[in-house]
Structure 1
Amino acid sequence: MLVPAIHFPGTCQQAINRYKEALNAQVINIAYERDAPSDSNMHANGTPDHVMHAELIIAGTRLNMCDVNDDVTNGNMHLYNIFMDSIDEVRTAYEQLTVGGKIHKKIGPQFWTSMYCDIEDAYGVRWQIMTKE
């Protein structure tokens, strides 16, 4: 499943509130950095009120959103999430898409999924690839 995503520089909650009013967005799930396990390294930046992950439905389409501590500006905030059936599929995509690309987060398990990576391919497209569970 391919899901578009938007990264925000600390303004994700404000965007969610605006999209709920302006676009009748439905919030399916929202988790804040304070909700992450203490050993997850999600607390390192001292931003407990940042949105770690949000899922919205806008006009029948799923959209993922979160705050990041990377240098995001208007124009480079968009990326795609791909949810794959197996760890092997995630590994294959990682191995092929990192050729000539850039690794933002090395492949490995995370507390929310068995395998995850965050990469930018050789064409400048950013992908977060993970298993479905």
Structure 2
Amino acid sequence: MTPVPYLYFNGSCEAALSAYARIFGGEITALMRMKDMPDPAIPQSAAEMVMHATLTLPNGALIMASDNFRGDSAETSNISLTMNFDTVEAAKAAFDALADGAEIQQDFGPQFWTDGFGALKDRFHIRWQISAPQKAF
């Protein structure tokens, strides 16, 4: 069994997943719009919003997401997505890409457990922890 995060956006789902695909090297492998639902009971203004999408990362991990056409998905402060990279350089590059328009919670840099770690809330209001490999203890 593998947990799969499911993210909710208030109209920016497609832009967010496109950014994450570029940053992490993944691919959007499924994308259905609100208008594709049988007998959709949604306002016409929401027709192009994402009803469901899947981002497949290079290692096969998934991130699923959708838009909330009502626009009332609350930001959450009690969870973040952690991405572990094979090198400090790859982790720093991902952190820097996510940092565009983000609220930096911890600058990327060495920590006692790793040579590179940073935390932020990106421009889509998703919290991330970006980490290089852990040190051996």
| TM-score between the two structures when normalised by the length of structure 2 | 0.48
| TM-score between the two structures when normalised by the length of structure 1 | 0.49
Which structure: greater strand fraction? Answer: 1
